[in-house]
Each structure stands twice: as C-alpha cells, then as structure tokens.
Amino acid sequence: MIDLKSIASNKEDLDRYEVENNFQSWSYQPDQSPARVVSAKGVRFTTEDGRQRLDFSSCFVSHNIGHQDPRVVDAICEQARMLTSFAPSMSTKPRAMLVKMLAEITPGDLSRSFISLGGTEANEAAIKICHQYTGKRKIITRYRTYHGGTATSMSLSSGDARSWAQVMGGTEKIQVPQPYCYRCMFGQSYPACELQCVKYVDDVIELEGGGDKVAGIIFEPVTGANGIIVPPAEYFPRLKEVCDKHGVLMIADEVMTGFGRTGRWFAMNHWDVVPDIMTMAKGMTCGYLPLGATIVRKHIGDKFKEQFFSHGATYAGHALGCATAVALIPIYQSDNLVENSQKMGAYLLEKARELQEKHPCVGDVRGLGLFVGLELVKNRKTREPMVPVGGKIRPGMNPKLEVAKKLGELGMMAMAANPGNVIAMAPPLIITKDEIDEGVAIMDQALEVADVYAE
Ligand SMILES: Cc1ncc(COP(=O)(O)O)c(C=O)c1O
C-alpha cells in the first residue's frame, strides 16, 4: 500500500523525484530537475518561481490555439461529466463527429480515420495500413526526419541522431535525401538542379523492384525537428508523379505541420497534392488531451470492407480526446487561426531574416507560416555546421543548447532542443505582432551566445 504521507509535495521532494524516478525524454538523465510549470495562459507560461515566459515553441509545436482556452477546457469538462471513454467497439458521439470533421477539413477524398493517442501511434497505423493495403514491406523514408518514438516510427526517423540507438526490425526501409537546398546531398543548387532529389527517388524505386516491392514513401511536408526544411514548390507535385507512375503510396506525416501551422489547414494544401495516407496529432487537440489520427483516401478505406483491418488499441477513438478536437476545430475557424498563421508567419520570417543579417552564427533562415527556423553555422561561407549531426546525443559542448539556456533566462522558450543546428520559432497561432517583436528581441540577445563560436 502506498504511503501518501511519505510522498510529501514540497519543492525539494518533487525535484528529487524528477531526478531519481522520472525518465527524461531523449537525453542523458539530468542531475537537476527542470523548472516546474504551474500554469499557462495564451502565449505565456509561469514556473514555480513565479516567472512568466513567452512560449515560442507551442510546446513542441502542439499548443496551436494557445494555453488554457476556456472554451476547450469547458468542452473537456462537459464531456468528462458525461462519458470519459468507452470500449472502441462501441460508438461515441465525439468519435463519430470527429471522423466526419476530419474528412471535411483534409484535402481530396481522405475520408476514413483511425483515431489513436499521438503522432507516433498515428504513423505506426499509417505504416501498417500501407503494408496491409499493398502487401509490400519496403517503405522509403528521407534522411533528416523524425516520425516518432516507437520501434517502427523511430527506425523510419532516418538521419535523426536519436534513432541510432534503435534496434531495427519489421519494415524494410530505404533512405533517400531531403529537398534540403541549403545542404543539397547532390551538391547542386536549385533551380538548376532540376530536382535531382525527386529523380533519385524515381531511380531508387525502380532499383528496389518498383511498385511490386515498394509500398510507400513517408515524409514530413515541411521537415520539423530536423531543420524546418521547406521544399521547392515543384517538389511534391513531381514526387506525386513518380509515386503514381510506380503505384507507391504517399504518406504525409502532418503531425507538426497540420492544423494551420504552415498557414494552411495542412501543409500539403500548399502544393495541391493529396497524399494517400495522412497522419496528424499535436494541433488536433493542441495538447489539451493526447490524440492522433491516421486518415486514408476512400479507395484505401473501402478495401478494408473486404480485408481484415489488423490494427487497434484499447483507447482508440478516446471520447474525451475526440471531444477536445471536436471543440477545437471550430475555434480554428471562428478565430481565423490559419489565416493568422499565414500573416504572422510572413512577419516572423521577415524578422528572422533581419536576425540573420545581424548575427554571423545564422547561416540560413527558412519558414512557412508560423514555423520558422534559424540554422546555426560556424562559418557562413563554408556553411560548416555549428555542431555535428550527433551533437544532441553526445555529451559535451553544444552552442545551440547554450542559446536555449539563454532564451530561458531572458524569458522565452523556443524549439532548440531538437537534433541538428536549427532553432525553430513556432509560437501559438494566436500570436500578435507585438508578441512577435518581443520574442524576436529576446532571440536577438540570445544569439549573441552562438556568435562567439562563429568565424
Ligand atoms: C513530424 C512528427 N511526426 C511524429 C511525431 C511524434 O509525435 P508524438 O510525440 O505525438 O508521438 C513528431 C513529434 O514531434 C513529429 O514532429
């Protein structure tokens, strides 16, 4: 029997439990507890010491509508009083409503969804559906990508140093380069390259046995944690031609980019390309409750009327999570959050370019909507990276983490703990111009820490 009295809740005890009893994600286990967050509102959060800071990361790009919106909290409470969850073999009103709403807001004939508990699970379902629909094992993935933390999703997270410790199995994966023009793996420049990165995928599919062997290709429409990589305008239309030619399914991982983050409902809307399978999470419930979804095109969904659908979970279609998303989607619309992301995103990108001019450590600036990255380099001419790819998973000095620390001291959180050399600014989509100015001024000061390492 647990003795609650012995688990006191004073600051020192809680700090000790954090250090001794909790696994901290993606890191050596710290010898100090991180600051404890006690409340959050809109674009700001407050820690136990009473300090308020600006959230320029939307908590790993999830809290798109900002923190503690009373409309969502009320909807959660209302649903919780009625029915928190039920066995997924039965229907609940929130799940039935949500799957219809997802079919409405996603592009083309994406129409049948599997509702899970987060982005990784959504990708696991996508890969399983892709294997089951095609009967094939090979999946193409791109270097410098993150698709999640479980076995298959992590093994597909190619070129993300966090995946190196993973023991592989199951899916047969093939890696191809990203359309990462700042560091083109073909040594070419856009547009003279004529998109070698797409031609390469075409060749790889052929050499791997074409559509008879290759099931699908998974990608982040705008790569998030590995560097805010925005593809050239023709990339996805051309990739679709290649996939259609071979009968290879396109799986768009919109876990970070979905729900207005890039200035459209989904990033694929920018290029008018309808993927065969799309995954989403984060902005769907904005972190108020965990939820993920995998949505497929009609002909794929219909196939499972005759073929057994071999996937499921106890909490699939969790009523409370679904009710959260059902409450949130109309707020995106009524508050014009997607439009604000486009408008404020353009302003943030402009401001980030001003930072690039000022700071020798900033080699490149990229972004789409409120998803803007500053790539840190040692040398702007040679583009020598500030830290090697494995910088995050090796102990030792990492100037980007020093910038993150400085940001915290100055009163802001940005996405700097990700792999690679990019500091991402992804504030909630409710952000105003004044708040962007405030955040950029803090970033301006914090970047001085990394300037010291630049030549
Ligand atoms: C593109 C992408 N896919 C999948 C995931 C995994 O999502 P989750 O952490 O909700 O499992 C993430 C998380 O950051 C992500 O950025």
* DSSP structure string for 187-208: S--TTTT--HHHHHHHHHHHHT
* Ligand 1 pocket test, candidate residues 62, 162, 282, 392, most atoms within 8 A of CB: 282
pLDDT tens digits for range 34-83: 999 999 999 999 999 999 999 999 999 999 999 999 999 999 999 999 99
Q: How far is the CA of 230 from the centre of ligand 1 (A)?
A: 17
Q: How far is the CA of 313 from the centre of ligand 1 (A)?
A: 19
* Ligand 1 pocket test, candidate residues 117, 127, 147, 392, most atoms within 8 A of CB: 147
CB 438 within 8 A of CB 43: no
Residues of the chain with CATH 3.40.640.10: 70-334
Q: Could you check whether the bond before residue 34 is cis, i.e. omega within 30 degrees of 0? A: no
Phi then psi dihedrals of residue 261, to 5 deg: -55, -40
* Ligand 1 pocket test, candidate residues 58, 115, 127, 146, most atoms within 8 A of CB: 146
The CATH superfamily of 9-65+336-451 is Aspartate Aminotransferase, domain 1 (3.90.1150.10)
Separation between Cα atoms, residue 83 and residue 81, nearest integer Å: 6
Identity (one letter) of the amino acid at 202?
D
pLDDT at 388: 82
Q: Which residues contact 325 (CB under 8 A, 6 or more apart)?
A: 94, 98, 101, 284, 285, 291
Count the alpha carbons within 13 Å of 356 in the hemisphere toward its beta carbon.
19
Residues of the chain with CATH 3.90.1150.10: 9-65+336-451
Q: How far is the CA of 272 from the centre of ligand 1 (A)?
A: 23
Q: How far is the CA of 60 from the centre of ligand 1 (A)?
A: 9
Ligand 1: atom nearest CA of 225 is: 16
pLDDT at 132: 96
Low-confidence ranges of the chain (pLDDT < 50): none
Ligand 1: atom nearest CA of 282 is: 10
pLDDT at 6: 79
Ligand 1: atom nearest CA of 292 is: 10
pLDDT at 167: 67
Ligand 1: atom nearest CA of 148 is: 6
Q: How far is the CA of 194 from the centre of ligand 1 (A)?
A: 31
Ligand 1: atom nearest CA of 257 is: 1
Q: How far is the CA of 254 from the centre of ligand 1 (A)?
A: 9
Q: How far is the CA of 360 from the centre of ligand 1 (A)?
A: 31
CB 21 within 8 A of CB 15: no
Ligand 1: atom nearest CA of 123 is: 4
Q: Which fold has domain 70-334?
A: Aspartate Aminotransferase; domain 2 (3.40.640)
Nearest CA to ligand 1 atom 3: 147
pLDDT at 365: 98
Ligand 1 residue neighbourhood (C-beta within 6 Å)? 60, 118-120, 123, 146-149, 220, 224-225, 253, 255-256, 281
Nearest CA to ligand 1 atom 7: 119
Nearest CA to ligand 1 atom 9: 119
* Runs of H (alpha helix) within 147-257: 151-155, 196-207, 235-246
In this prediction the pTM is 0.97
Token pair for 342: 């486009």
Q: Which residues contact 20 (CB under 8 A, 6 or more apart)?
A: none
Separation between Cα atoms, residue 175 and residue 126, nearest integer Å: 18
Q: How far is the CA of 62 from the centre of ligand 1 (A)?
A: 10
Cα 320 → chain centroid: 22
Ligand 1: atom nearest CA of 150 is: 11
Nearest CA among 414, 404, 400 for reference residue 352: 414
Q: How far is the CA of 147 from the centre of ligand 1 (A)?
A: 6
Ligand 1: atom nearest CA of 153 is: 4
Nearest CA among 124, 113, 88, 60 for reference residue 326: 113
pLDDT at 168: 62
Ligand 1: atom nearest CA of 223 is: 1
Separation between Cα atoms, residue 293 and residue 125, nearest integer Å: 9
CB 40 within 8 A of CB 68: yes
Exposure string of 94-120, with b = 16+ CB inside 10 Å and e = fewer, is bbeebbebbbebbbeebbbbbbbbbbb
Q: How far is the CA of 148 from the centre of ligand 1 (A)?
A: 5
Q: How far is the CA of 430 from the centre of ligand 1 (A)?
A: 22
Count the alpha carbons within 13 Å of 263 in the hemisphere toward its beta carbon.
18
Separation between Cα atoms, residue 158 and residue 144, nearest integer Å: 6
